[in-house]
Every structure is written in C-alpha cells, then in structure tokens.
C-alpha cells in the first residue's frame, strides 16, 4: 500500500501540485533535447544545429501556458500527479507551441524572441559571417522552419504513447493550429481581419485564427488523460469564455496580434467609457467561466484553482 509519506503531494496545495508537475515537464524537455543533442553531435556536428536551436528557445523561458492549462485540467479532473502520461502530454504541448513560435517569427520577420535572436535571424547572420554560398535570408528562414518541424516531430514522439482519446485531441489540435494560422494570415492579407474581437464573444469556430482551441484542447487532453469525458462540456464553456476575455484584454493592451488597425481603433473610438464597458465584459466573461465549472464534479480546491487561472488569463 502507498502511504501519504510516499506521496507528499497529498498535503500540498493545488498550485504546488501543478507546479511540481511543471518542474517534471522542464526535466522531460531538458532530458529529451540533451539526449538528442549528444547523439547528433557525435555523428555530425551539423546535424545537432537544429536540436540546439530548439533547446535554446525552450531554455530561454516562456509562459508554459499550454502545459499549465493542461495539467490544471488534468488535476482538477482527479488525475494522478504521479502518472507520467500527463507530463508527456504537457511537454508535447510546449514543443508544439515552440514549433508555432518559430514559424510565426519567420512569418513576421521578428528579430527577437524571449530576449534572444530569433532562429531565422541568427542562422542568416551565421551564413553571412561565413561567406557561404546562396542567400543568407533564405538560408536563415529555411533552417528555422526545419527547426520548427523538428520541435513538432519531438512533440509527436511524446504524444505517440497517449491513450487514444487524448491522442485524437492532439491530432485535432495540430490540424486546427495549421488552419487557424492560415486563416489569420489570409484575413490580414485580404484586409478582412476585424481588429475588435467581438466574434469571440459568440464563441469561436473551428479554425479560429486567434487559437481558442489552444486553451480548449489543452483542457480536454487533461480531462481525457484523467478519464473524465463528463467534463467536456464544462471545460469547453470555460475555455470559450476565457478565450473571449483574453482576446479583449489583448485588444485593450495592444498585445500580439493587436497592432496597426487595432491601435487606430483604440485611439479613435475607444474612450474611457468604452474601455470601462470592455472591462465589464471581461469581468462578466470570468464569471461565466466560473459558472461553467461550478456545477462540474470537481473538488472545491481545484474549482478555486480554475477560478484563479481564469483571472490570471483575463489579466
């Protein structure tokens, strides 16, 4: 029989339990990338370049938002903190995020990410310093895209052993992120993007360019790993409300995706009264998220943790 002494998490707070699992996610990512780098470096140093790029970006930090959301959903659903499948899923989600961060940086020609040069910039500079053949910009962008592909491949490796329902959600998330990224870029190119995220209030559909599925799927993967399909409806409603609150907060603060037309809209039409109404909308959405999990079969402490997460995401 396993004793409480053998499982110290039994006396820890919900946040402490999740943070301990997030530490294991960091260890899993470090272990995987260190092992890959050692193996590649001994065969051919050039083959280790992509691994090093992914590792440096992950080690530079980041919010680890999707892993935290996934693990919160998992633990709130009664998942066992000692089960390695949740750590594998959370690690895979971080690698998927890394893939899309790299691709977004290439698409936006961003110079920095997490305080360090973006991969396409650093590889282009390396090409130019060494006087290699070809065009530095194309080499940098091509190398960065391959690094993104590698991060995704590692994510798939970790997700391969997940139970079927969680694996299907992972596969669906991969598809949605690709379609969503294209829809966002196409809308901006065609001058069809709407700076005010009002559409999120009614519930985002498949292929949402702003990625509400990143929140929804992370929670549902956690529930699936805990064997709690009964939480699907509550988690979906919770995610839908929080996504809308997060998007409005991003608009008000001028966050990623809300420059240009959004700045014009804020400056011209958004006076103090309009901002107050937007803040009231955000507060109402957080209440809606609370109500979504209030009736669900979740331990009170974890219901409170989901409420705290909602307030953190809504800013």
Q: How confident is the model at residue 193 (pLDDT cuts 50, 70, 90)?
A: low
Q: What is the pLDDT of residues 215-232, one digit of tens each?
A: 999 999 999 999 999 999
Q: Which residues of 276-308 are buried (b: 16+ CB within 10 A; e: fewer)?
A: eebeeebeebbebbbebbeebebeeebbbbbbe
Contacts by 177-184, CB closer than 8 A, 24 or more apart: 177/96, 177/100, 177/211, 177/213, 177/214, 179/206, 179/207, 180/207, 180/208, 180/209, 180/210, 180/211, 180/213, 181/100, 181/103, 181/104, 181/209, 183/207, 183/208, 183/209, 184/209, 184/210, 184/257
Q: How confident is the model at residue 3 (pLDDT cuts 50, 70, 90)?
A: very low
> Residue 9: its pLDDT value, please?
59
Domain residues of the chain, as ranges? 1-161, 163-315
Q: Are 122 and 54 in contact (CB under 8 A)?
A: no
Q: What are 231's two structure tokens?
A: 């939480």
Residue 283 Ramachandran class (φ > 0 left, ψ -120 to 50 alpha, else beta): alpha
Q: What is the mean pLDDT of residues 276-291?
A: 94
Q: Half-sphere exposure of residue 305, counting CA atoms within 13 Å on the CB side?
A: 22
> Residue 62: its pLDDT value, please?
81
Q: Report the SS3 class of residue 191.
A: coil
Q: Report the SS3 class of residue 29.
A: helix
Q: What is the mean pLDDT of residues 205-224?
A: 83
> Residue 180: its pLDDT value, please?
84
Q: What is the mean pLDDT of residues 102-122?
A: 91
Rounded CA separation 116/250 (Å): 23
Homologous superfamily of 1-161:
Farnesyl Diphosphate Synthase (1.10.600.10)
Q: Are 105 and 123 in contact (CB under 8 A)?
A: no
| Mean pLDDT of the residues in the chain | 89
Q: What is the pLDDT of residues 20-79, one digit of tens each?
A: 999 999 999 999 999 999 988 888 888 899 999 999 999 998 889 999 999 999 999 999
Rounded CA separation 106/98 (Å): 13
Q: How confident is the model at residue 4 (pLDDT cuts 50, 70, 90)?
A: very low
> Residue 1: its pLDDT value, please?
31
pLDDT at 135 over 90: yes
pTM of the model: 0.90
Q: What are 40's two structure tokens?
A: 């590649």
Helix segments in the chain, DSSP class H = 14-43, 49-59, 65-76, 84-108, 119-130, 136-159, 164-189, 212-225, 232-253, 261-269, 272-294, 300-314
Q: What are 164's two structure tokens?
A: 């079927």
Q: How confident is the model at residue 310 (pLDDT cuts 50, 70, 90)?
A: very high
Q: What are 105's two structure tokens?
A: 């940086």
CA angle at residue 225 from 301 to 72, to 5 degrees? 30
């Amino acid at each position: 029989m396993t004793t409480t002494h053998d499982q110290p998490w039994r006396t820890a707070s919900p946040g402490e339990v999740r943070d301990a699992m997030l530490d294991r996610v960091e260890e899993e990512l470090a272990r995987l990338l260190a092992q890959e780098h050692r193996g590649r470096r001994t065969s051919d140093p050039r083959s280790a370049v992509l691994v090093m790029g992914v590792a440096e970006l992950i080690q530079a930090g980041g919010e680890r938002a999707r892993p935290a959301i996934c693990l919160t959903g998992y633990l709130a659903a009664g998942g066992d903190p000692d089960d390695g499948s949740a750590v594998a899923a959370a690690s895979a989600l971080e690698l998927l995020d890394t893939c899309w961060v790299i691709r977004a940086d290439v698409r936006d020609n961003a110079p920095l990410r997490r305080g360090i040069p973006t991969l396409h910039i650093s590889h282009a500079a390396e090409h130019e310093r060494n006087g290699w053949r070809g065009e530095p910009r194309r080499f940098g962008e091509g190398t960065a895209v391959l690094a993104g592909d590698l991060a995704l491949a590692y994510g798939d490796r970790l997700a391969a052993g997940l139970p079927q329902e969680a694996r299907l959600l992972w596969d669906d998330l991969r598809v949605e992120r690709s379609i969503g990224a294209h829809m966002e870029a196409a809308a901006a190119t065609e001058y069809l993007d709407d700076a005010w995220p009002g559409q999120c209030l009614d519930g985002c559909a498949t292929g949402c360019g702003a990625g509400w599925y990143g929140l929804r799927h992370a929670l549902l993967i956690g529930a699936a790993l805990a064997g709690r399909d009964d939480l699907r409806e509550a988690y979906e409603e919770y995610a839908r409300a929080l996504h809308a609150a997060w998007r409005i907060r991003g608009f008000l603060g001028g966050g990623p995706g809300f420059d240009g037309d959004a700045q014009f809209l804020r400056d011209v039409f958004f006076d103090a009264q309009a901002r107050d109404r937007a803040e009231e909308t955000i507060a109402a959405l957080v209440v809606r998220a609370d109500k979504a999990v209030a009736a669900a079969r979740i331990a009170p402490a974890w219901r409170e943790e989901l409420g705290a997460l909602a307030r953190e995401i809504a800013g």
